[in-house]
């Protein structure tokens, strides 16, 4: 089985290393030898830590995908369009199997690529695109095939989890920890895809499609990142018995008499005794709940050369064995149109942090605004006293509708006594 690899960066070089070091094991598992025949990247002369001298070189990865002597094309370039998309489309058109780690590509073009692959008889694998080394696509698509999945959620971005974990452990604020993470290579120079939740949203959109059998709908994911989470929020969360995690959550819901899927990525307060609260640092975790199996939990490294190459290899082995499983668990013709339930129909309990001037009557204005929107308060913390400056007030609510909560926060933000925009974090009930 001949393999062409487009992209020789972290994952590309890791994949070449794995295929070389595990050659004997893979041959026994596939029933035939796997060999890399062709590669493509931008700079032919860059030192990559792996020997590529024996492979045919292509400057253009799409040309390689169309012309190389290969059965499988592995796309490890990245980006939702451009060279990555052209490479996958060319490989599929040529009837070659495609394996990719590219979540942006699959989140934007997954449904059409799956349809094209089915038409040309090519296999499409993207295990490495979601949660790195955790085999969650296989778990949902194959291991849980006998279940109706009711909810799938997880920590899908290691950079955010590292930052939130370190903020909690050190009491420091977001900006300083992000700068350290960039220096240590845990965060990109441009961290926006990670810290603004986009990377987790790409992965969630893919999980949603595999779990619920609907078309990939990245535009339907509600996305919030972690830039607004402060050290104070993390300390208040601890005091209230919670931890703050950036979760991606997809849930089948019935709202207004219609079935749909809620897809959301945002910081969540989860009970400190919930298993997912203890997934720390760069680790990822995914929880999938099925009607027959109950709750299943998967944890592991969500990125890095080794874990991601491990997932790439799993897809290569499937193709080499001749497995033909629909990429999104059902044939692309049978994927239902995405029906995303908007956040305005969401309901949850909420944590709200206000910075208020320390004078009598402030709280009355706040509670009136909540009451007017039928938001019921569960608890309030107002401890510090400072006649010269603003003090924090923290409120938690009982479960309430998101739209009423947003209106109440707008009213509260407009009060003369409230000096900053109120900060809200949803309190996630992870109970079934």
Give the active site residues.
203
CA distances from 234 to 170, 182, 239, 423 (A): 11, 21, 9, 12
Q: Which stretch binds ligand NAP (CB under 6 A): 272-280, 300-308, 410-418, 420-428?
A: 300-308
Note whether 12 binds ligand NAP by CB under 6 A: yes
Residue 431 token pair: 């109970």
Q: Which of 36, 61, 242, 315 lies at the binding interface for ligand NAP (CB under 6 A)?
A: 61
Minimum distance between the CB of residue 263 and ligand NAP, rounded to whole angstroms? 20
Q: Which of 92, 303, 317, 362 lies at the binding interface for ligand NAP (CB under 6 A)?
A: 303
Cβ closer to ligand NAP: 226 or 303? Answer: 303
Minimum distance between the CB of residue 287 and ligand NAP, rounded to whole angstroms? 20
Note whether 401 binds ligand NAP by CB under 6 A: no
Note whether 128 binds ligand NAP by CB under 6 A: yes
Cβ closer to ligand NAP: 4 or 244? Answer: 4
Taking the C-alpha atoms of residue 65 and residue 33, their distance in angstroms, rounded to an integer, is 20
Minimum distance between the CB of residue 11 and ligand NAP, rounded to whole angstroms? 4
Note whether 76 binds ligand NAP by CB under 6 A: yes
Minimum distance between the CB of residue 422 and ligand NAP, rounded to whole angstroms? 35
Note whether 78 binds ligand NAP by CB under 6 A: yes
How crowded is residue 393: how many other Cβ atoms within 10 Å of its Cβ? 21
Note whether 101 binds ligand NAP by CB under 6 A: yes
Q: Which of 11, 34, 425, 430 lies at the binding interface for ligand NAP (CB under 6 A)?
A: 11
Q: Which of 83, 149, 152, 155 lies at the binding interface for ligand NAP (CB under 6 A)?
A: 83
User: CA triplet 60, 79, 135: central angle to 5 degrees?
Assistant: 110
Note whether 7 binds ligand NAP by CB under 6 A: yes
Cβ closer to ligand NAP: 80 or 180? Answer: 80
Cβ closer to ligand NAP: 203 or 222? Answer: 203
Note whether 181 binds ligand NAP by CB under 6 A: no
Minimum distance between the CB of residue 218 and ligand NAP, rounded to whole angstroms? 14
Cβ closer to ligand NAP: 10 or 111? Answer: 10
Note whether 47 binds ligand NAP by CB under 6 A: no
Note whether 8 binds ligand NAP by CB under 6 A: yes
Q: Which residues contact ligand NAP (rule: CB under 6 A)? A: 7-12, 40-43, 46, 61, 76-78, 83, 101-103, 128, 132, 303-304, 308
């Amino acid at each position: 089985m001949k393999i062409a690899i487009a992209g020789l960066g972290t994952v590309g070089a890791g994949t070449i290393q794995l295929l070389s070091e595990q050659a004997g094991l893979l041959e026994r598992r596939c029933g035939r030898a796997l060999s890399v025949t062709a590669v493509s990247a931008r700079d032919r002369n860059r030192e990559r830590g792996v020997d590529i001298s024996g492979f045919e070189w292509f400057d253009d990865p799409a040309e390689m995908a169309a012309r190389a002597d290969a059965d499988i094309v592995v796309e490890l370039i990245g980006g939702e369009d451009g060279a990555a998309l052209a490479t996958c489309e060319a490989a599929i058109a040529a009837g070659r199997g495609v394996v990719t780690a590219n979540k942006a590509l699959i989140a934007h073009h997954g449904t059409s690529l799956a349809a094209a692959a089915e038409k040309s008889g090519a296999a499409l694998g993207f295990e490495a695109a979601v949660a790195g080394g955790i085999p969650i696509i296989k778990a949902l698509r194959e291991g849980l095939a006998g279940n109706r999945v009711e909810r799938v959620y997880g920590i899908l971005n290691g950079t955010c989890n590292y930052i939130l974990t370190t903020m909690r452990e050190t009491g420091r604020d977001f900006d300083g920890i992000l700068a350290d993470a960039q220096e240590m290579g845990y965060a990109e120079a441009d961290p926006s895809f990670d810290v603004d939740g986009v990377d987790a949203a790409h992965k969630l959109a893919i999980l949603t499609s595999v779990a619920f059998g609907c078309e990939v709908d990245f535009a339907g994911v509600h996305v919030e990142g972690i830039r607004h989470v402060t050290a104070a929020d993390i300390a208040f969360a601890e005091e209230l018995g919670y931890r703050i995690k950036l979760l991606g959550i997809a849930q089948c819901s019935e709202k207004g008499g219609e079935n749909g899927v809620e897809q959301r990525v945002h910081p969540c307060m989860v009970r400190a005794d919930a298993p997912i609260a203890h997934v720390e640092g760069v680790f990822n975790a995914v929880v999938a709940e099925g009607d027959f199996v109950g709750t299943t939990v998967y944890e592991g490294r969500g990125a890095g050369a080794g874990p991601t190459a491990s997932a790439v290899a799993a897809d290569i082995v499937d193709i080499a064995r001749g497995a033909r499983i629909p990429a999104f668990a059902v044939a692309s013709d049978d994927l239902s149109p995405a029906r995303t339930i908007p956040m305005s129909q969401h309901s949850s309990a909420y944590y709200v942090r206000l910075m208020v001037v320390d004078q009598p009557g402030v709280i009355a204005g706040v509670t009136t605004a909540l009451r007017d929107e039928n938001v019921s308060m569960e608890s309030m913390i107002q401890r510090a006293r400072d006649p010269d400056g603003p003090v924090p007030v923290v409120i938690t609510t009982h479960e309430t509708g998101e739209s009423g909560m947003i209106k109440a926060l707008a009213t509260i933000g407009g009060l003369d006594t409230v000096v900053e925009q109120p900060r809200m974090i949803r309190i996630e009930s992870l109970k079934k």
